């Protein structure tokens, strides 16, 4: 349908997982993609090639989003190369799982630096560019249902997700007169390389059966939701949080899903 034809999108943390899914969905709908990554060079280059195979342009940008100057350079390079920035997806995040009372302070600082301040840098600097252009724009923050559910062992991550959702609502209110949409996505349990650091294949499959939809989410599920928010179909949607979790939060108060439902 080419819903994003002629648009330029910057996606942080795009080399794998949810960011990869979003980049693929956007490129399939006509967008040129500036791909940010920090440490997975080969995967970023493979994704860039896949985007170019779809007939779109790809720009690979290595940067740590906790470094404000690096984010500023990323935005500037995108605009220098392609003339404008229409969509920004603040996706990059970091989770170090420790109980709050045992968490190392340096780990807390690192999680907040990436998952909270990195989102702030991306959103603020992208918004400044969109304001200079004067043609509106779309900002999408990839948060988590852990903004709503205080999962044990993820104190700093949970805190950062609550913060960036409120940041998004604040920016939506401030930027609405300029027709810059700011929205959040709260993914549920998504099958990503990052998640597989913490759970085995068997554990992930068992977890999927406990979700009302019967499976874990995929990066494409989140990509499809982000595509809607980036499109003109969501022109009147701003300050919203779209939960994409297969009913996971509902399942927290429902009985176990039967193996063979009637």
Query: Which residues are tagged catalytic?
Result: 157
Helix (H) or strand (E) holding 60: strand 58-62
What pairs with residue 139 in β-bridges? 88, 182
- What gap in Å lies between CA 156 and CA 103, rounded to an integer? 9
What pairs with residue 33 in β-bridges? 9, 58
- What gap in Å lies between CA 93 and CA 143, rounded to an integer? 9
DSSP code for 76: H
C-beta of residue 75 within 8 angstroms of C-beta of residue 125: yes
Closest CA to 218 of 244, 243, 198: 244
C-beta of residue 113 within 8 angstroms of C-beta of residue 66: yes
CA 81 to chain centre: 23
C-beta of residue 76 within 8 angstroms of C-beta of residue 50: no
C-beta of residue 31 within 8 angstroms of C-beta of residue 87: yes
Residue 98 has phi, psi (to 5 degrees) of -150, 145
Closest CA to 11 of 114, 89, 72: 89
- What gap in Å lies between CA 218 and CA 195, rounded to an integer? 11
């Amino acid at each position: 349908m080419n819903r994003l034809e002629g648009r330029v999108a910057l996606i942080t943390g795009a080399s794998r997982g949810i960011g990869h899914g979003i980049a693929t969905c956007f490129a399939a709908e006509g967008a040129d993609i500036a791909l940010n990554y920090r440490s997975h060079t080969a995967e970023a280059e493979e994704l860039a090639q896949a985007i170019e195979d779809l007939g779109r342009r790809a720009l690979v940008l290595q940067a740590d989003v906790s470094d404000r100057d690096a984010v500023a350079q990323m935005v500037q390079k995108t605009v220098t190369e392609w003339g404008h920035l229409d969509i920004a997806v603040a996706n990059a995040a970091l989770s170090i799982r420790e109980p709050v009372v045992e968490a190392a302070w340096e780990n807390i600082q690192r999680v907040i630096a990436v998952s909270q301040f990195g989102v702030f840098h991306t959103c603020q600097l992208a918004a400044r560019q969109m304001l200079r252009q004067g043609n509106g724009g779309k900002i999408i923050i990839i948060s988590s249902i852990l903004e709503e559910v205080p999962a044990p062992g993820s104190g700093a991550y949970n805190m950062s997700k609550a913060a960036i959702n409120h940041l998004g609502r604040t920016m939506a209110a401030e930027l609405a007169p300029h027709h810059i949409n700011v929205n959040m996505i709260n993914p549920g349990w998504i099958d990503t390389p990052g998640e597989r650091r913490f759970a085995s294949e068997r554990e992930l499959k068992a977890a999927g059966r406990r979700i009302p939809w019967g499976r874990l989410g995929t990066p494409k599920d989140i990509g499809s939701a982000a595509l809607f928010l980036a499109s003109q179909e969501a022109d009147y949607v701003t300050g919203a949080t779209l939960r994409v979790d297969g009913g996971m939060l509902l399942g927290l108060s429902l009985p176990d899903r039967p193996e063979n439902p009637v």
